[in-house]
């Protein structure tokens, strides 16, 4: 009989095939999809995040663990939708206009999904207007913006200004990150939160959502 703890371990080990097999066995055995997420996937990704912060895991290990988690989620997502299970929160993430870097952004998206949030990945080179549209149409609770170049950092301020101009700034929390971005810069442009790395992004999101 598959155990939730075994699934957590498969995620930590980055074992895609085992994660998918265990997920299917748990579901077939009558475990609720939501339980598989909250008691199997989330604890596993939490350990991955802690190891990443402690420099015990590096980007490749995190990506492999996230791939295993995504394999499980592919099985669970349709079941969660059928059951009308609402995600804890919706987070829209994108690399700002003029910037085509996506590894850090993808890593953050995976960690957030692993924490049980619905992630709307807007991709790279995202115009300020797209963030506004996402708040209005997708009802995002948080917008997460990434910049990997000092030259594209001003696009974060542009996006925040556009959210204000369009009257949606008070409807959403904004968090920022990326190699050149600092807490001081986040404060300067009026962002609600800052994360220095992918594992910290989950903590920042939880803080912003009051969890």
Task: Find the helix packing angle between 198-208 and 42-53, rounded to 10°.
Answer: 120
CATH 1.10.1240.10 range(s) for the chain read 4-82
CATH 3.40.50.280 range(s) for the chain read 90-208
Does the domain at 90-208 match CATH 3.40.50.280? Answer given as yes
Q: Which of 158, 157, 159, 152 is nearest to 178 (CA)?
A: 152
The pTM of this model reads 0.85
Q: Taking a C-beta distance cutoff of 8 angstroms, is the pair 202, 69 a contact?
A: no
Angle at 32 between CA 72 and CA 139, to 5 degrees: 70
Half-sphere exposure of 185 (CA within 13 A, CB side): 21
Q: How many other β-carbons are positioned within 10 Å of the β-carbon of residue 28?
A: 9
Q: State residue 109's pLDDT score.
A: 93
Please state which CATH class domain 4-82 belongs to.
mainly alpha
Per-residue confidence in pLDDT tens, the chain, 211 aa: 679 999 999 999 999 999 999 999 999 999 999 999 999 999 999 999 999 989 999 989 998 999 999 999 999 989 988 887 778 899 999 999 999 999 889 989 989 988 889 999 999 999 999 999 999 999 999 999 999 999 999 999 999 999 999 999 999 999 999 999 999 999 999 999 999 988 899 999 999 998 6
């Amino acid at each position: 009989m598959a155990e939730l703890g075994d699934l957590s371990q498969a995620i930590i080990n980055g074992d895609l095939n085992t994660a998918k097999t265990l997920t299917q066995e748990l579901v077939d055995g009558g475990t609720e999809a939501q339980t598989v997420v909250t008691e199997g996937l989330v604890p596993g990704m939490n350990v991955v995040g802690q190891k990443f912060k402690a420099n015990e895991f590096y980007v490749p290990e995190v990506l492999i663990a996230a791939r295993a988690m995504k394999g499980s989620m592919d099985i669970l997502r349709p079941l969660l939708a059928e059951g009308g299970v609402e995600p804890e929160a919706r987070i829209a993430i994108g690399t700002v206009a003029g910037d085509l870097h996506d590894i850090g952004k993808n890593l953050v998206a995976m960690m957030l999904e692993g924490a049980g949030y619905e992630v709307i990945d807007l991709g790279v080179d995202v115009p300020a207007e797209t963030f506004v549209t996402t708040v209005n149409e997708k009802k995002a609770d948080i917008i997460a913006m990434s910049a990997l170049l000092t030259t594209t950092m001003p696009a974060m301020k542009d996006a925040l200004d556009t959210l204000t101009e369009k009257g949606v700034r008070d409807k959403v929390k904004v968090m920022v990150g990326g190699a050149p971005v600092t807490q001081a810069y986040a404060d300067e442009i009026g962002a609600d939160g800052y994360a220095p790395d992918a594992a910290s992004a989950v903590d920042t999101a939880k803080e912003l959502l009051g969890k």
